[in-house]
Structure 1
């Protein structure tokens, strides 16, 4: 996992649209003490990488420098420490979100309570709705205007944040969506107030009636209500993107039973658990922290953490991880890693970090959003002036064009398109056991056309096993017992394979005399008076043991099948041939087949000899094999593929494959060793090989989702801005109402969020 202390996270409050996040990011990147920065509108965070030497004066000084810079932009920044408890952080964010939604809901109710009658009064005569004479624009124009003003004032007060945020940013030369709304509704309000004064000062009913035509209180009021509704729906939808985090958080129990020195138990909060504490884990309860089984045995459901569908048996000395479910027996565990140090907490941190990151494809939208708002202001002003001076429209109608253009072109949808898709996709990936470290890895996964696999521990299980046993002149178990007796003193992986099979069969071994290990050849010794040899053909040849043609054919056949032959000779004659191999993972052939169906070129790299490597590759369904390569050689193979224009994904165990993982466009680390894997790759595959398909499929689905959102965001502005500017008027059509513009703008943002949420159903 990328828990790099040099990457600092900040929460940024007050951002309203893509222009806000783009401007904040640009300002941070310009700071001399910052190497790089990304600001995400979707989750309101910034990730900052300090430049070389930036922390020499202390972390506090750097944090203050960043927060001051953000504050000058009109936003509020606060530092998120890397060691903060993820559960506490999530709870505080959820509480803040709930409070924010409650405030928005109250404002929304207020605005619509007054906006609906405001529109009814203002437009009633146009719609054939009778108004009492005391409220009629013909009989009582001043009361008609003042009544609308009274209805509009609570709406303006409820939506005051548009002005409180938008106007200062406009004065700083950094306008955002709130600035557009503030300018549009503010212009309509000011003109309506002026018209109200004209009605009050009118010398005749005709003048008063003419001034009534300049009232646009209903446009300003309903516009604020509709945009607030859109922002509320958007906020509600965005809360659903955190469901992946919520699901992970709920895997940790709140209380746990701690063993007392007298043998009793005491229930304590999980956050009070310390390393070394002994905890009683009952059937049906979840493991609260990482640790080891101190006594007892059970079966664990680890699907929530690793995706492993079958229960895993654990006994004394075995490791257990927070979030896994105890299925059967009760046991006592000793806590080792607690709080933010658990594997589950680090996974949650990784997902949060990825959700706040950006993909390269977001750069285009950011650059456009940065300059879009000033451009919209220019277009709105030019359109209004053109209609006023050259189109002979009344000032009020030209003002409606101005307001409609400002509102309809708010770049919310543009700024949300990419970060919303990334947030949902990384959360969905975590649910499926694929941890994307950042948006760049997610996007790059969607472009991959070549997948390179390490062999040992990736395509294979990583632990050699005895897979065949041929005996001549004696029973198989007798031959295996002799081989195990010789290997008892060896730590070689082949020896462990032989000993493991003997132990599995319950065989007892004799004592070995005169044991000798022959480097690169095998072992020798004396058992019950018999001279024994166990090793390769060279060992037997050196001791004068010759093989018949049938025996040689058997050895060649085993080697061709990817097995390492171990030859056992007793008293100068071959009595057994044992075949040891690292078996393929059960899912390997299916994964390779599916990747090919997705259009990917598949290659295998191995340090084994050519014959063994090709035998394994053949069983896996891989034709493209490079054998006999060291770790640096694997990196060179990846580099060569990239020089040919291939987009390369490297899948390895995260240890000896580190150079190749780093070189690849996307390094995918098997998550069987969580600590190592989280450091090694761009993507962590908690569920093993099937995660490769998930990563590619999710990357492609996310790119498609982002492109669709960006297309509609761009198309929306390309189509509706000219309509709002009055293009239809040139052909005798209608002008766009500011209220319709506000509804369309809100709908565009909500549609982008809903499109991103489709990724939650990715399979």
Structure 2
């Protein structure tokens, strides 16, 4: 089965099993969240939101005033002011409620697991500490997060990832990490625990989806400070208004002054700000991505450089050996023998494909013989970019290597002189393979007879359909894409041109990735990248957004700011889009809120002072019935607009891959103009109902 294309959107319905499955907004969620919203009326909770705390204090003041000097108008304003606070709490409670439902399902994965130590004794999983080693056999639940240090097994991770297909976990390499609560389906493995009690992957997931560890992001803090400053300005304006009104002979009641204050301060965005942040985390969870904090989600929206591995992200990643091209006097059969020997210790998919090609096409054994097994194998490493074998026999040492062109040629040059004709032929073959997007590997031998350049092994890969269009969308948003690959520069450029990336980093080592990230950051850019191996950990930690694959090592997952449960490197593009949507939603609703406040001036100010200053009558474009109905209608609208915007805050404003200038222009047109127009339409309609109340109309 072919992997999904890069432009296939993530499946939002696939969450952490039944755990992190978050659906669309349901109206019933408002009722379900009401108890939590009522508990949030606690003033200690309200202190965390300065804008809504002012509304809470105003509600208390108006309540006291209504008790002392009761009237229909005073009590109705009191009720709707409390509704304003309640609806603000409701927005946050709905967002948190979805997370709590997910957390409850996650808790069900944490059963009373018993761990079996190496000596056969059993102990509760809660007593395990980092460094402890446990044995897990078929049918047993893995008791805690760790790395496989011995054996290989298939593991059912559906409780965490929602994916029913089992995965393979084995010691060594980049697929050794296992998660507590998953189940071993076959064989036997030894797991070294890496997480402390209460700090396991599932524990952190529960804390994150519940919002218990949610901290305000820098942008959110900055916006909160701005909203608080605006609130203080309007508070001072309202406080100084009363002496002026008394001097003018038109003193205003405390109820009217508080209503004016609440309608003028940015209550709409103040009420929805927290819910927007929580919903951003929730949208990532729907894509099977867990972020360590809201800061990581926000940073994803500000990313300006993407580091993308070629294999598995831009291409399908299943590079297979498809042809052998001998060089010089070497026959294709001799090259097959050398390539097979050099690949026996190469556990990468590419290395195994070389052995398979030699076995199927040239009839060579796929397994090492007894004599070969006694040889000294050299496994492939990202540093050397080669694999091979050193064979000792009859006092003669024969060394064979296969790997990246520059690495093998440099190794051969260290041990002798390469035949110029063979080198030239290999260079032409390498150029041809690279020119058509393939990957060439060189195979060579060093023996007492001298140096032999055997030839070139051709690997083929395919660029995912639609990936060029996605990169074009990123470019429209001002995001640079950098393809990182271990391939030689010619091959890398051919793939890069086909995929449409902005820059290519070829023959990249872990140190090269780290240096590139630092260089980009020194220029003021925010960088995002993916990784799964221990050698990726430094770069993941350095990147502003480091997405670790769930199949990767514990070191990679600890270093990253996000973990992709599906281990799909392509998802990095979607993560950036989620971050952008979070920022766009926050900006759009802030614009709508400020525009709303501007429109409400035309409802309240004429009602308060038109009798004293008839000139203000020109501002009464809404034509509201009475002074009391105008003020009450504005207060009712101020409360109801919060509820109306909760679905949009949770779902997010529709995101389109356009430039910042186009996005700003669109938001000002839709949410700026819309924020002005909506009150002019809604408040008069509310007034038609309010004026029917005795004592108001």
- TM-score, length-normalised on structure 1? 0.59
Which is greater in Rg?
1
2:180–2:200: 8 Å Cα contact kept in structure 1? yes
Tell which deviates more after alignment, 610-619 or 415-424: 610-619
How far the C-alpha of 1:237 sits from its partner, in A, is 1.9
How far the C-alpha of 1:451 sits from its partner, in A, is 2.1
Within 5 A, what are the aligned runs for 1:174-573?
Answer: 176-192=54-70, 218-219=75-76, 222-223=79-80, 226-227=83-84, 229-230=86-87, 233-234=90-91, 236-243=93-100, 245-246=102-103, 249-250=106-107, 252-256=109-113, 271=126, 282=139, 289-290=144-145, 299-302=154-157, 305=160, 310-313=165-168, 320-324=178-182, 336=193, 339-349=197-207, 356-384=214-242, 386-387=244-245, 389-390=247-248, 393=250, 398-409=253-264, 411-453=266-308, 466=321, 468-470=323-325, 480-481=336-337, 483-485=339-341, 506-509=366-369, 511=371, 534-535=400-401, 538=412, 542=417, 547=422, 553-554=428-429, 556-558=431-433, 561-567=438-444
Measure the CA separation in 2 of the matches of 1:99 and 1:753: 14
Kindly provide the CA deviation profile for residues 292-332 of structure 1, in whole angstroms up to 9, marking residues without a partner as x: 78999874443664676753145899753234466x66978
Within 5 A, what are the aligned runs for 1:729-744?
Answer: 729=610, 730-731=616-617, 733=624, 734-737=626-629, 739-744=632-637
Measure the CA separation in 1 of the matches of 2:537 and 2:257: 58
Determine if the alignment matches structure 1 residue 695 to structure 2 residue 575.
yes
Measure the CA separation in 2 of the matches of 1:329 and 1:420: 44
- Residue 716 of structure 1, aligned match among 596, 599, 613: 596
How far the C-alpha of 1:228 sits from its partner, in A, is 6.3
Kindly provide the CA deviation profile for residues 543-565 of structure 1, in whole angstroms up to 9, marking residues without a partner as x: 87964986764455446532212
How far the C-alpha of 1:246 sits from its partner, in A, is 1.8
Determine if the alignment matches structure 1 residue 747 to structure 2 residue 640.
yes
How far the C-alpha of 1:333 sits from its partner, in A, is 7.4
Describe the SS at the equivalent of 1:421: helix
Q: 1:409 to 1:573 in 2, by over 3 A?
A: closer
Determine if the alignment matches structure 1 residue 601 to structure 2 residue 480.
yes
Structure 2: gaps of 5 or more residues: 1-19, 21-29, 379-383, 402-407, 611-615, 657-697
Q: 1:101 to 1:250 in 2, by over 3 A?
A: same
Measure the CA separation in 1 of the matches of 2:487 and 2:170: 35
How far the C-alpha of 1:656 sits from its partner, in A, is 5.2
How far the C-alpha of 1:690 sits from its partner, in A, is 1.9
Measure the CA separation in 2 of the matches of 1:262 and 1:655: 29
2:321–2:353: 8 Å Cα contact kept in structure 1? yes
Q: 1:404 to 1:530 in 2, by over 3 A?
A: closer
Measure the CA separation in 1 of the matches of 2:491 and 2:254: 79
Tell which deviates more after alignment, 733-742 or 543-552: 543-552
Measure the CA separation in 1 of the matches of 2:344 and 2:571: 38
Measure the CA separation in 1 of the matches of 2:634 and 2:149: 66
Measure the CA separation in 2 of the matches of 1:524 and 1:233: 69
Tell which deviates more after alignment, 514-523 or 294-303: 514-523
Measure the CA separation in 1 of the matches of 2:426 and 2:67: 99
Measure the CA separation in 1 of the matches of 2:370 and 2:135: 41
Kindly provide the CA deviation profile for residues 219-275 of structure 1, in whole angstroms up to 9, marking residues without a partner as x: 3653466346535644642433425752772462434466799999x9x98657785
Describe the SS at the equivalent of 1:565: strand
2:538–2:559: 8 Å Cα contact kept in structure 1? no
Measure the CA separation in 2 of the matches of 1:227 and 1:617: 54
Structure 1: gaps of 5 or more residues: 1-86, 88-96, 109-158, 193-213
Determine if the alignment matches structure 1 residue 675 to structure 2 residue 554.
yes
Kindly provide the CA deviation profile for residues 654-676 of structure 1, in whole angstroms up to 9, marking residues without a partner as x: 75566765665544455542533
1:353–1:438: 8 Å Cα contact kept in structure 2? no
Measure the CA separation in 1 of the matches of 2:434 and 2:217: 47
- TM-score, length-normalised on structure 2? 0.63
Describe the SS at the equivalent of 1:340: coil
Within 5 A, what are the aligned runs for 1:544-693?
Answer: 547=422, 553-554=428-429, 556-558=431-433, 561-567=438-444, 577=455, 579=457, 590-591=466-467, 593-598=469-474, 599=476, 600-605=479-484, 609-615=488-494, 617-618=496-497, 620-622=499-501, 624-627=503-506, 634=513, 637-638=516-517, 641=520, 648-652=527-531, 666-686=545-565, 687-693=567-573
How far the C-alpha of 1:706 sits from its partner, in A, is 0.7
Measure the CA separation in 1 of the matches of 2:420 and 2:377: 18
Measure the CA separation in 1 of the matches of 2:373 and 2:182: 48
Measure the CA separation in 1 of the matches of 2:186 and 2:387: 47
Q: 1:175 to 1:417 in 2, by over 3 A?
A: closer
Task: Please tell me the root mean square deviation across aligned C-alpha atoms, in Å.
Answer: 5.8
1:470–1:476: 8 Å Cα contact kept in structure 2? yes
Measure the CA separation in 2 of the matches of 1:717 and 1:552: 70
Measure the CA separation in 1 of the matches of 2:423 and 2:318: 31
Match of 1:195 in 2: none
1:441–1:683: 8 Å Cα contact kept in structure 2? yes
2:322–2:357: 8 Å Cα contact kept in structure 1? no
Measure the CA separation in 1 of the matches of 2:138 and 2:345: 39
Measure the CA separation in 2 of the matches of 1:377 and 1:551: 79
Measure the CA separation in 2 of the matches of 1:660 and 1:313: 26
Describe the SS at the equivalent of 1:613: helix
2:115–2:143: 8 Å Cα contact kept in structure 1? no
Match of 1:153 in 2: none
Describe the SS at the equivalent of 1:566: strand
1:634–1:659: 8 Å Cα contact kept in structure 2? no
